[in-house]
Amino acid sequence: MKTYKQFQEGLKTKLAIGGLMSLPFVMQKIKDKFDPVGNKRKEFQDALKKKYEKKSGTEGQGYFD
């Protein structure tokens, strides 16, 4: 049977590992929300894609993705 101290140490270890494993997910969410340069670039690239798809007649085919 584990002592209270061993139980607490195991709990802290599991919480730390869980926190580290969720870090990339959290960082991606923060980047998605607070990345004005990336968002503007995406809008600009999407506008160019639509323009060239319209010119080439490949709208909706995913040619420029």
pLDDT tens figures, 9-61: 777 787 778 777 777 888 888 887 888 888 899 899 999 888 888 888 877 77
Q: For residues 4 and 18, give the distance between their C-alpha atoms in angstroms, rounded to a whole number.
A: 21
pLDDT of 63 reads: 62
pTM: 0.46
pLDDT of 43 reads: 92
Question: Is the CB of residue 53 less than 8 Å from the CB of residue 63?
Answer: yes
pLDDT of 27 reads: 82
Q: For residues 32 and 25, give the distance between their C-alpha atoms in angstroms, rounded to a whole number.
A: 11
